[in-house]
Amino acid sequence: FASFPELSLVAGSSAGAGSGEFHVYRHLRRREYQRQDFMDAMAEKQRLDEEFQKKLERNKMIAEEQTAKRRRKIGFRKSRESCLCSFPGSDSEQPLPCCFACCG
């Protein structure tokens, strides 16, 4: 006969187990279910965290695009305000406000 190593804590709910074995089985089963529930909850939490991070990144990118657009508008407006034209042949030494022909 082949000898098999003796396994401890191998019990099921089958008939023939001792009266105390069912309680051990029930306890092990409850712990395994708790472990699986915990792993499921952690996977769900991780999935939600990843979705939230993606949403944050998307919102950040949209905000940066809007800020860049506003910055361009303000820069263009300021460049026009600060531009002073001097017409050739004008006898005044003071530059005139921009005619917008030089700065587009």
Name the residue with tokens 């506003």. 70
Assign 24 a pLDDT band (cuts: 50, 70, 90): confident
Confidence at residue 85, expressed as pLDDT on a 0 to 100 scale: 60
Q: Are 98 and 84 in contact (CB under 8 A)?
A: yes
Degrees, nearest 5: CA angle 61-66-68? 95
Q: Whole-angstrom Cα distance, residue 21 to residue 9?
A: 9
Mean pLDDT, rounded, of the chain: 77
Residues facing 97 on adjacent strands: 84
**pLDDT tens string 25-60:** 889 999 999 999 999 999 999 999 999 999 999 999
Domain boundaries, the chain: 21-97
- Residue 73 scores a pLDDT above 70: yes
